[in-house]
Structure 1
Amino acid sequence: MTRDPIDPTGLIRESFRIDGITTEECRTIFLEWAMGIAADVDAKAAIRTHLVTYSDMPQDHPMIVTLSAALADVRPPKRRGGRRARVPE
């Protein structure tokens, strides 16, 4: 059996085999998967590939929801303030 470069430990594959898996469990699995892929793997492309591979799964499956959320654009962090913002120079 050869290792899949976008799912080297089979975490994503196995998440679809667990009956009653929750969104929180899928998020944990996703984070572990993200930390385990090689640095030269394009994570967004890998996520898209997973979504195509598991497109036959129900769209409300927690891992499908998690993978889809990972592709959503993340807003840049907003400055929350601090002394410099409050006190004039």
Structure 2
Amino acid sequence: MPEAKNPNDPKGLIRESYRIENIGEAECRSILMDWALSLPDEIAQLDALTALLAQYGVAEPDHPMTRLMQEGLAPMTRGGRRGGRAGRRQH
């Protein structure tokens, strides 16, 4: 019997990433990007990531997908140089 479709992982990408032996961070990053682009608009990414981490990450805390999903939940910090005139202006 096929597995039930998970609304937080409609294509099963995250589920399958945990089944691939010796998968690396680069492959997980690519899979996570595909997952994010294919997630339906009515599902909030942060909510979906939280649910998927609870489903898969607890059992496999050292998996590269777990680390990437945790990074996805971390608040973004503003950094780097400002572009345009403001970035070149001398004080």
TM-score interval, normalised by the smaller of the two chains = 0.7 to 0.9
Show structure 2 runs of 5+ residues with no match.
none
Q: Which runs of 5+ in 1 are unaligned?
A: none
Aligned partners of 1:81 and 1:16: how far apart in 2? 39
RMSD across aligned C-alpha pairs, in angstroms?
2.0
- Which AA in structure 1 matches 2:7? P
Equivalent residue number for residue 33 of structure 1: 35
3-state DSSP of counterpart to 2:78: coil
Q: With the length of structure 2 as denominator, give the TM-score of the two structures.
A: 0.83
How many Å separate the matches in 1 of 2:83 and 2:20?
A: 44
Structure 1 equivalent of residue 71 of structure 2: 69
1:26 aligned partner, one-letter code: C
Counterpart check, 1:56 vs 2:59: yes
Identity between Structure 1 and Structure 2 (%): 38
What SS is found at the alignment partner of 1:34? Answer: helix
The letter for the 2-side match of 1:28 is S
Q: Which has the higher helix share?
A: 2
